[in-house]
Amino acid sequence: MHQLRETIAKKYLSCLEKASVEETLLLFTEDAVIESPLYGRMQARLFYTQLFADTMSSTLRLDGIFSEPTSSRILILFEYQWKLRNHQQVIFNVVDVLEFDSDNKITTLKIIYDTARSKEAFSQLE
């Protein structure tokens, strides 16, 4: 189960780069919740629909996956190069905390990063 969840975590990063809402949501439970510094707390479908609409492109570089065999959580550390739809680009390091259910679907995703580099560019989207 431990290795399967690491594989799912890598698939999740791939889905982020592709910006496919439907493909991303296949990894989540129906009622999954995302907590993000910029978007706040929202249902996964709404979060990814909004995120991908705000994104022109993104490139991710995995720095590590951290997990313990007895835990239902995995942490992913990666660099996120985010080009917003207004053509501004921000680069920052992210830690995502993925919580899994017994069927290996993501129930909660907490996104952790310093918004100093992204908040201003994000505020200009409106």
Of 41, 16, 44, the closest CA to residue 28 belongs to: 44
- Mean pLDDT of the residues in the chain: 92
The CA-based angle 56-37-31, given to 5 degrees, is 85
The CATH number of residue 102's host domain is 3.10.450.50
Domain that holds residue 9: 2-123
pTM of the model: 0.90
- What are the tens digits of pLDDT across the range 98-120? 999 999 999 999 999 987 766 66
Written as one string, the DSSP assignment of 67-111 is E-TT-SEEEEEEEEEEEETTS-EEEEEEEEEEEE-TTS-EEEEEE
Cα–Cα distance for residue pair 12/6, rounded to 1 Å: 10
With 70 as the cut, is the pLDDT of residue 124 above it?
no
Average pLDDT for residues 63-71, to the nearest whole number?
A: 91
Q: Tens of pLDDT along 71-89? A: 999 999 999 999 989 888 9
The domain tally of the chain equals 1
